Chain A
Amino acid sequence: MSQAASFDDMRDLYQEVIMARGRHPQHQLRLDPYDGAAKGDNPMCGDRVEVRIRMAGDTIAEAGFEARGCAISVASADLMADAITGRTPTEVRTLAERFRVMVHTGACPDCGPEMDPLRPLVGVHEFKSRLKCATLPWDAMLGALKESGHG
């Protein structure tokens, strides 16, 4: 029995940047000191992420995460940390909502250039079972924001 595998179309999901960030994330670190932290758990698959943020005035100065998970969830956490750094809680909540729309629908009519770094994850919308991998770090980050008193 032969069933030749061709994964060419899988590069829509596993784009270069996702492979790279999944393998060598830049923000996988235990941030300390920090102003807010929260964990995200996906008991269905065993993914786990903890996100910590440090504030400077009214903006996020730094974000870091510790994750055990797949390439999608680690890359998503890492790109998220890039995207939210230097932004206010209000901006970050808007980003989170747009990200959610983008990965669920594959489109984001309201997205501006601030979403560009997150666009490599758009392919997730075709993989329903993987949506949670992409959104878990964002849910944890919103929890961390809340804990910091900026929720």
Chain B
Amino acid sequence: MTMIRPAPLDVERIRAEFPILSETVHGKPLVFLDSAASSMKPTAVIDAMADTMRKQYANVHRGLHWMSERTTDAYESTRDAVARLMNAPSRDEIVFAKNSTEAINLLAHSYGSLMQPGQAVLITEMEHHANIVPWQMLRDRAGIELRIARITDAGELDWADYESKLADGRVALVAMTHMSNVLGTYTPAARIAAAAHAAGAKVMFDGSQAIVHRRVDVQALDADFYVFTGHKLYGPTGIGVLWGRMALLDAMPPFMGGGDMIGSVSFEKTTWARVPHKFEAGTPPIVEAIGLKRAIEWVEAVGYDAIAAHEAALTEHALARLADVKGLRVIGQAQDRGGVVSFTLDGAHAHDVATLLDRNGVAVRAGNHCAEPLMRRLGVDSTARASFGVYTTLGEIDVLADTLERVREFFA
């Protein structure tokens, strides 16, 4: 019944680095299949953050003392790590935000303030609320148009519709997911960017999911902006990234005002600090940034090739096993997909499914996944979603599938 294939990385060794994975839930081993919501953290990240607070901590960019200088170096070196991770042309293009949501809000506010009525922002039907609502707010504030590119029934970008919505040359910015948090679909980012540029638009990718599973090269994609969040990338909560081309960031007004983002302040006039500090008002998430750097180093040490191969094997196994569960329907059949599988089960609502799975130690998400318009487009109220991380095993997917059989019997 079970196809066991050799894993391309040593999962057991990796699992040993995540202390939480040895916890039990309702007396059962934790089978954590909710990494797309937030991933667990390796010891390296936990220790880096705790060590910062234990041994070397002070506010950054202010102190002339040893502790502040050392902490500033540690904090700032995260920009180098992020730039390397994304192959950004310059470390100064790395702007820290609280998470992807704040990064997109920053962009909608600051880049959005440069847009004129009559211009448009183009998103898709498969966006997370974080990449819908900030643009609706901009639309209502600035009188721009919000366009929605359709997706196909398989859950892929409807290319003809995308091109038609770019055609009149009024789209200033395409803002699109790089990987759907519901369907697992990877969008063809390089092709999307090329089409956007040909129509005179800039392009932002929401990489919250994508960068966890595959190497991202913003120069190869020819992106203009790219956002992601630390807590899905085995790092801490409270830290996210907006990358943008320097010329674009430089032309943008600040987002929030306060300390750290200024050149000089008088009651008559304040000048802004240079990018990226212009966008980072107030004491930043220092410990979180240091944790993110360690997470990036950890991911790089495991290697994206190994991660991608491992997760491809997991996804293939999951799709095969779930196909055998009677009454189960996988939502989204994209050709190019990552380790996120949404499904419905006949006769059982997703919440009921999730409650029963949890009782057997299996953690999945259930609901609309912060993507209500997508749910409506797919004609479902809610789905259950299993999502995989570097520590997920084929055996855990078997537990999911076996438990789903029991869930089906329970509600039969």
In whole Å, how far is A75's beta carbon from the nearest beta carbon of chain B?
11
Interface size class of A (residues with CB under 8 A): 20 to 34
Partner of B396 from A1, A10, A47 at Cβ < 8 Å:
A1
Question: Is A113 close to B, CB under 8 A?
Answer: no
Chain B residues near A9: list those with CB within 8 A.
Answer: 359
* B28 contacts A46, C-beta separation under 8 Å: no
Chain B residues, CB < 8 A from A133 = 351
Secondary structure dominating the interface of A:
loop
Residues of B contacting A7 in the complex (Cβ-Cβ under 8 angstroms): 356, 359-360, 406-407, 410
| Residues of A with C-beta under 8 A to B356 | 5, 7, 10
Shortest distance from the beta carbon of A42 to any chain B beta carbon, whole Å = 9
Neighbouring A residues of B381 by C-beta, 8 Å: 46, 48, 68-69
A-contacting residues, B11-38, CB 8 Å: 28-29, 31
Cβ of B395 < 8 Å from any Cβ of A? yes
Partner of B352 from A46, A48, A68, A72 at Cβ < 8 Å? A72
Closest B residue, CB atoms, query A13: B355
A23 to B347 alpha-carbon distance, docked (Å) = 8
Q: CB distance A1 to B393 under 8 Å?
A: yes
Q: B325-355 interface mask toward A, CB cutoff 8 Å, 1 = contact, 0 = none? A: 0000000000000000000000111111001
B185 within 8 A of A: no
Beyond A1-B395, A5-B407, A7-B356, list 16 extra A-B contacts (CB 8 Å).
A1-B398, A2-B398, A3-B403, A5-B356, A5-B360, A5-B402, A7-B407, A10-B410, A13-B355, A19-B411, A23-B347, A46-B367, A46-B381, A69-B381, A71-B352, A129-B355
Interface contact B361-A44, CB-CB below 8 Å = no
A129 CB contacts on chain B under 8 angstroms: 355
Question: In the bound complex, do residue A44 and residue B367 qualify as a contact, i.e. CB atoms below 8 Å apart?
Answer: yes
Chain A interface residues toward B at CB < 8 A: 1-5, 7, 9-10, 13-14, 19, 23, 43-48, 68-72, 127, 129-130, 133
Contacting residues of chain B (40-65) with chain A, CB-CB under 8 angstroms: none
Known interface pairs A1-B396, A5-B402, A5-B406; A10-B382 also in contact (CB < 8 Å): no
> Residue among B351, B359, B402, B406 with the most chain A CB within 10 A?
B351
Interchain CA distance A9-B396 in the complex, whole Å: 23
Interface positions of B from 391 to 412, Cβ below 8 Å from A: 393, 395-396, 398-399, 402-403, 406-407, 410-411
Contact A70 B29, beta carbon cutoff 8 Å: no
How many chain B residues touch A (CB < 8 A): the figure is 32
The B interface, classified by DSSP as helix, strand, loop or mixed, is helix
B196 within 8 A of A: no
Task: Name the B residues within 8 Å of A48 (CB-CB).
Answer: 381
B308 at the interface (CB under 8 A from A): no
B237 at the interface (CB under 8 A from A): no
- Give the chain B neighbours of A1 by CB distance below 8 A: 393, 395-396, 398-399
Nearest CB of chain B from residue A59's CB, rounded to whole Å = 33
Q: Give the shortest distance, in Å, between B236 (CB) and chain A (any CB).
A: 23
Distance (whole angstroms) from the CB of B314 to the closest CB of chain A: 13
A19 to B: closest C-beta gap in Å: 8
How far, in whole Å, are A1 and B366 apart by their CA atoms in the complex?
24
B368 at the interface (CB under 8 A from A): yes
B372 within 8 A of A: yes
- Chain A residues with CB below 8 A from B360, complex form: 3, 5, 7
Q: Complex formed: what's the CA distance from A46 to B182 in Å?
A: 14
> In the complex, which residue of chain B has the Cβ closest to the Cβ of A46?
B368
Kindly state whether residue B375 has any CB partner on chain A within 8 Å. Answer: yes
- In the assembled complex, the CB of B256 is this many whole angstroms from the nearest CB of chain A, namely 26
In the assembled complex, 18 residue pairs joining A and B whose CB atoms fall closer than 8 Å, in A order, are A1-B399, A2-B399, A3-B360, A3-B402, A3-B403, A5-B356, A5-B359, A5-B360, A5-B406, A7-B360, A7-B407, A43-B368, A44-B367, A45-B368, A70-B350, A71-B411, A130-B355, A133-B351
Q: List the A side residues contacting B395 at CB < 8 Å.
A: 1
Chain A residues with CB under 8 A of B398? 1-2
Residues of chain A within 8 A of B29, CB atoms compared: 3
Which of A1, A10, A68, A127 counts the most chain B CB atoms within 10 A? A1
Q: How far is the CB of B37 from chain A (nearest CB, A)?
A: 12
Contacts of A5 in B (CB 8 A): 356, 359-360, 402-403, 406-407
Nearest A residue to B362 by beta-carbon distance? A3
- Shortest Cβ distance from residue A48 to the other chain B in the assembled complex, whole angstroms: 8
Q: In the bound complex, do residue A127 and residue B355 qualify as a contact, i.e. CB atoms below 8 Å apart? A: yes
Please give the distance in Å from A103's CB to the nearest CB on chain B. Answer: 15
With beta carbons under 8 angstroms apart, the residue of B361, B375, B411 that contacts A3 is B361
Complex Cα–Cα for A5 and B408 (A): 12
**C-alpha spacing A124/B393, complex, angstroms:** 32
Q: How far is the CB of A58 from chain B (nearest CB, A)?
A: 36
Looking at the assembled complex, report how far the CB atom of A35 sits from the nearest CB atom of chain B, in whole angstroms: 28
Contact B351–A45 (Cβ < 8 Å): yes
B397 — nearest CB in chain A belongs to which residue?
A: A1
B residues within 8 A CB of A46? 367-368, 372, 375, 381-382
Complex-state Cα separation, A3 to B402, whole angstroms = 8
Residue of chain A at shortest CB distance from B365: A45
- A46 CB to closest chain B CB, in angstroms? 4
A104 → chain B closest CB, angstroms = 17
Tell me the minimal C-beta distance from B9 to chain A in angstroms. 17
